[in-house]
Amino acid sequence: MTDSILLTTLDEALRWGKGKSLWPFTFGLACCAIEMMSAMGPDYDWARFGADVFRDSPRHADLMIVSGTVTKKMAPRIRRLYDQMAFPKYVISMGACASAGGPYVRGYSVVDGVDKVVPVDIYVYGCPPRPEALIQALKQLQDSIASGKVRH
């Protein structure tokens, strides 16, 4: 029955809907959070892409943007916030620090990459990435969700 036309189209419609109605989580860590706010702002206006409902509680959100350096003291808290999010949930690792430690990788209290803490779907490079880069990451995530490449 899974091959029938009705089921596949419904599945596809669901995936399309999931991708186009992401609710991001207001979660700023460091410098990249300012660029994330710029992306929300009037010039870049990422509400155009259907992800403008920023939620303050992890239980309402399904997209976590890790924007900034992850320190060892913060990492367990990030894990806890991630565990509190309801499925489906996605993670964008924004910037060099969150992706690989960035300029702080030699430090004693910095986690080199948020992928050691939570599973990451999209990495964005740059220190900090421009808002355009973040918007591209969002578009990429939406496309991968719609085409079924990313499932959670």
Contact set with other proteins (CB under 8 A): 26-31, 33-35, 37-38, 41-43, 56, 58, 68-77, 79-81, 103-104, 106-111, 116-117, 127-128, 130
Distance of CA 152 to the CA centre of its chain: 13
Indicate the residue among 3 and 43 with the shorter CB distance to other proteins. 43
Query: What are residue 88's phi and psi, to 5 degrees?
Result: -75, 145
Indicate the residue among 130 and 139 with the shorter CB distance to other proteins. 130
CB of 51 to other proteins, least distance (A): 17
Structure tokens at 35: 């660029």
Q: Which residues contact 125 (CB under 8 A, 6 or more apart)?
A: 95, 96, 99, 133
Indicate the residue among 19 and 101 with the shorter CB distance to other proteins. 101
Indicate the residue among 67 and 142 with the shorter CB distance to other proteins. 67
CB of 10 to other proteins, least distance (A): 36
CB of 151 to other proteins, least distance (A): 25
CB of 66 to other proteins, least distance (A): 12
What is the C-alpha separation between 56 and 41, in angstroms, rounded? 17
> H or E stretch including 25?
strand 24-25
- How far the first Cα of the chain sits from its last, in Å, is 23
